[in-house]
Amino acid sequence: MIAKLQCVVLDCPDARALARFYGALLGGAVNRPDPRWAVGDDFTTVHLGSGLVLAFQRVAEFRAPQWPGAEHPQQFHLDFDVPDLDEAEKQVLDLGATLLHADSRGWRVYADPAGHPFCLLKG
């Protein structure tokens, strides 16, 4: 092993708002004290129970990805297992997500409030 994943960082127009979205979605602690990062308006973290950390950095001229188009490529996306797709969909839409695509094979694509695509999969 050469490296250990420290965190996944997402660019966005509002770091605190997107951290609150993912904190509510995944049950994480927003801006938990951690000596590795200085958090504030431009950089915010969510510590998950699994030990993974998601971080969000404000980009002044952020251009949201577009799914499935390539003009503003998605660059990456996150997949989340859920026990009940319909219930999870209601919850993420209430948090500010937007449904982009529903597949008959058991997964759905959404955009978070900043436009990053993520998938919910029956797990």
Sequential pLDDT tens for the chain (123 residues): 666 778 899 999 999 999 999 999 999 999 999 888 889 999 999 999 999 999 999 999 998 888 887 787 777 788 898 999 999 999 999 999 999 999 877 889 999 999 999 999 887
- 10/52 Cα distance (integer angstroms): 14
pLDDT given at position 22: 97
Distance CA 16, CA 21 (A): 9
CATH number of the domain encompassing residue 87: 3.10.180.10
Q: Return all residues near 1 (Cβ < 8 A) that are at least 6 apart.
A: none
Q: Is residue 66 part of a domain?
A: no
- Residue 78 amino acid letter: L
How far is residue 41's CA from residue 106's CA, in Å, rounded to a whole number? 37
Q: Are residues 12 and 49 in the same domain?
A: yes
Contacts of 106-109 spanning 24+ positions with Cβ under 8 A: 109/67, 109/77
Count of residues in the chain: 123
82 and 45 inside one domain: no
Residue 82 lies in a domain: yes
The CA dihedral of 28, 93, 10, 29, to the nearest 10 degrees, is -10
Q: How many domains does the chain have?
A: 2
The confidence score (pLDDT) of residue 103 equals 82
